[in-house]
Structure 1
Amino acid sequence: MTADAISQPGADPNASAKRNALLLAAAQAFGGSAAPIAIAFGGLAGIYLLGEDKSLATAPVTGYNIGVALSALPAAMLMAGIGRRKGFIAGMGVGMIGTLLASWSILQGNFWLFCFSLALMGCGGAFTQQFRFAAADQGTAEFKPKAISWVLAGGVFAAVIGPQTAIYFREFFAPVEFAGAYFAAAFLLFIAIIILSQLRFDKPLSRAERKAADSGRPLSEIMAQPRFIVAVICAVGAYALMSFVMTGAPLAMVACGFSADTATNGIMLHVIAMFGPSFFTGNLIARYGKERIVAIGMAILAVCAVVALMGITLANFWIALVLLGLGWNFGFIGATAMLTDTYRPEEKAKAQGANDFILFSTVAFASLMSGKTLNAYGWEAINWIVFPVVTLCLLSLLWLHLRTPRSA
């Protein structure tokens, strides 16, 4: 709650939180567009740059996810020191360097430099991932799930802006493909910087003040809570499965005879489905509870795999990708909301950073194994792996329910 809200009777206690959430949603629309560009064209550009061994085609996407994982804790700690606004601007700047280097590496035909470039993009993406937590920094407890869903709703626009920009600029440096898409992504991140410069958060504490105020529990104690454990399991399950299936989908579509643009449009539909429900996911969580929404998300992921296993027509691919996005939305937003129940304000940096490190380390591994699994065993094997992971997540939710049947 802001000081202005306290000093004015009848003022909206969520006024400042709503303003920041809307700005972060707008920043998500542009800053978040780098991720679908990296993922949609990462594997395809990998094939373009590689020689005979196509099993490494998804290594660039893995590089992106490794960048997110390695930067998760540093991003959280940096913003604890210099503040959210400056931290976010710095993160988008790193992402811009990555996009420009990615474009240059494709022009040079350097596969491993391209992988490194996407890792830099991932470093910037780690800051983008913190948008959802920043939105929940302010406002009432009831508003926090809505704030998270508002920010992720900005991804609907990122789902269109990113892939369509990539398609439009893909041959900007013809005859070299894909370099133009990453070059154009730098301008989208620059727009995000302009938006983020308008954020208003409380001034960060000085080093001495942070040390004096750091009365929070050790990270090991926070992470030992059953609710934290289950929230991380479900977030990791939803995100890793989404990355695993999505990373392999464009490659599988091209292998089945569809064009690169058709595959990219499939990713666009997928990302729209990832973020579109965010306009009402927060309200659903408030009405039905976090755990129930997570469980529904996991069930939808299982249905996605069923549809994908039924055939390899364009409809099968696109419907499966839409269901994949929808299941991710319910599972991930619900799990993120569960996580916010497990730490105190002074513990948020380390708790959020630890969560994202675990999350994106697993996602990086999933994206790498997607290419290897597709190359060795085919598209069907990717989808069969969905079922045991979904089962594990549902069993963890049941375990938490049996331990604390009245948890919200």
Structure 2
Amino acid sequence: MSAVRGRAGLLACSCDFDLPDEAPRGAGSPSLALIAAGFSFSILAQALAFAALPIAGAILAPSPAATTAPVVLMLAGAALSTFPASFLTGLFGRRSAFALGASLGVAGAALGAWGVASGQFAGLCLGAFWLGTAQGFGLFYRHAVGSSPRAIALVLGSASLAAFAAPAVVGIAQALVGPLAPAGALIGAGLAQVCVLMLAAPLPSAIELGEGERRWRQDTPGFIAVTAAAALAWFGMMLLMTGAPLAMAGCGLGLGAASSGIAWHVLAMYAPAAVIGASGWRPPAAPTTFFGLGLLAIGCVLVRLQTSAGGFDLALIVGGCGWSLATLGATQWIHARGEPPRALLALHDFALFAGAVAGAMAVTVFA
């Protein structure tokens, strides 16, 4: 049994904890592959949920104003879980925190699928909220590899694999359950969260003592500017991901076209980070963030001009590339200044999800 080091205010335990300080978190870390795979499955669950929830909400909502309620509640759950995700990772380690988030995702997917199958809008909304809490924990994977720009890019880029799996899962759901395909897609999201749970088990149970928090070089104006730009990017991303399936449905395009469009969007959201990480290129963080924000704005304009599946796909790809650069740049800017305090990481991620909630709610305004 390894030695256990205590800290004032932290209860001792006879469990065999691995010590966090020795756990490597850089680009060469043995756990990097597990973290990247866990993040990829987390994004797969997210992509399936985003493909299913807008359509399921449109079918079950008691009024047109409530159509986007499942998506909004999912994002609200993600925003509210950012602070628990940040501090639980520090208190109990990555393994426990990520496993807890995945467990909530499994339960949420099951409840949401039941809501769709039984016509219970309340069940769909509650399941969406629990799925959102899993997303809040899953987003923290990108903070789990330390300050290495290449490792951050590789973890973000690994989620591009979800773009290839999501349409296949939706296709299987349509073939098996037909009109209940949104429920089948949510079951697929639950299975993806089961994979996240399995991948979390071998991670080091690292109780991170936070000694590096004192090393972070404070830059409040820069933090506000970069976080605001990234939050605007998440606003635009959610405006696209929530509004595009509804716009496609209005043009006579079904769930298959919507899931394909979202898949291209997800690929564009993470493939640029994969290319940057594989090449070893380190673009300047702040300019990358603002350039990505501008590219996303172009995608938001383009999507309103489309009537065909190909046109929607193109607009979603442009917007996805913009989101990728904005999120990568903001994450690298924060970690380039040292080990960020947990409260700062939680505040940053909360701002991102708050922007996403606003984007989902704005769909009815811009429709």
> TM above 0.5, one fold?
yes
Cross-structure match for 2:204: 200
8 Å contact kept, 1:171–1:179: no
Moved more, 322-331 or 24-33: 24-33
Moved more, 157-166 or 76-85: 157-166
Q: What is the number of equivalent residue pairs in this alignment?
A: 348
Residue by residue over 1:116-136, the C-alpha shift from the partner in whole angstroms, topping out at 9 and shown as x without a partner, is: 111100101111000000022
State the Cα RMSD in Å.
Answer: 2.7
Cross-structure match for 2:151: 147
Q: Secondary structure at the match of 2:226?
A: helix
1:373 lines up with 2:365 in the alignment: yes
Cross-structure match for 1:77: 87
Q: How does 1:21-40 map to 2 (within 5 A)?
A: 21-40=32-51
Matches of 1:45 and 1:72 in 2, distance apart?
26
Residue by residue over 1:284-325, the C-alpha shift from the partner in whole angstroms, topping out at 9 and shown as x without a partner, is: 895431122223212322332343344423232110000011
Instruction: Find the partner of 2:145 among 135, 148, 157.
Output: 135
Shift of 1:3: 5.0
Matches of 1:195 and 1:214 in 2, distance apart?
26
Matches of 2:49 and 2:285 in 1, distance apart?
30
Instruction: Find the partner of 2:221 among 223, 226, 243.
Output: 226
Matches of 1:308 and 1:174 in 2, distance apart?
28
Q: Secondary structure at the match of 2:322?
A: helix
CA distance 1:4–1:283, change in 2 (3 Å) = closer
Shift of 1:203: 3.8
Matches of 2:83 and 2:174 in 1, distance apart?
33
8 Å contact kept, 1:162–1:185: no
CA distance 1:93–1:341, change in 2 (3 Å) = same
Instruction: Find the partner of 2:54 among 33, 43, 64.
Output: 43
Gaps spanning 5+ residues in structure 1: where? 6-12, 379-408
Residue by residue over 1:361-407, the C-alpha shift from the partner in whole angstroms, topping out at 9 and shown as x without a partner, is: 2211211221x124xxx3xxxxxxxxxxxxxxxxxxxxxxxxxxxxx
Matches of 2:106 and 2:23 in 1, distance apart?
36
CA distance 1:107–1:257, change in 2 (3 Å) = same
1:269 lines up with 2:264 in the alignment: yes
8 Å contact kept, 1:171–1:178: no
Cross-structure match for 1:161: 165
Q: Secondary structure at the match of 1:135?
A: coil
Cross-structure match for 2:103: 93
Moved more, 165-174 or 230-239: 165-174
Q: Secondary structure at the match of 2:180?
A: coil
8 Å contact kept, 2:70–2:124: yes
8 Å contact kept, 1:18–1:147: no
Matches of 1:266 and 1:215 in 2, distance apart?
41
Shift of 1:151: 0.8
8 Å contact kept, 2:292–2:326: yes
Q: How does 1:1-400 map to 2 (within 5 A)?
A: 3=22, 14=26, 17-51=28-62, 53-136=63-146, 141=147, 144-170=148-174, 172-200=176-204, 202-205=206-209, 216=214, 225-282=220-277, 286-342=281-337, 344-345=338-339, 347-370=340-363, 372-374=364-366, 378=367
Give the residue type in structure 2 aligned to 1:351.
L
Shift of 1:238: 1.1
Give the residue type in structure 2 aligned to 1:356.
D
Shift of 1:167: 3.1
Give the residue type in structure 2 aligned to 1:166.
V
Give the residue type in structure 1 aligned to 2:30.
R
Q: Secondary structure at the match of 1:312?
A: coil
8 Å contact kept, 2:23–2:206: no
TM-score with structure 1 setting the length: 0.78
Shift of 1:29: 2.0
Cross-structure match for 1:385: none
Matches of 1:307 and 1:349 in 2, distance apart?
38
8 Å contact kept, 1:172–1:179: no
Matches of 1:156 and 1:215 in 2, distance apart?
31
TM-score with structure 2 setting the length: 0.86
Q: Percent identity?
A: 28
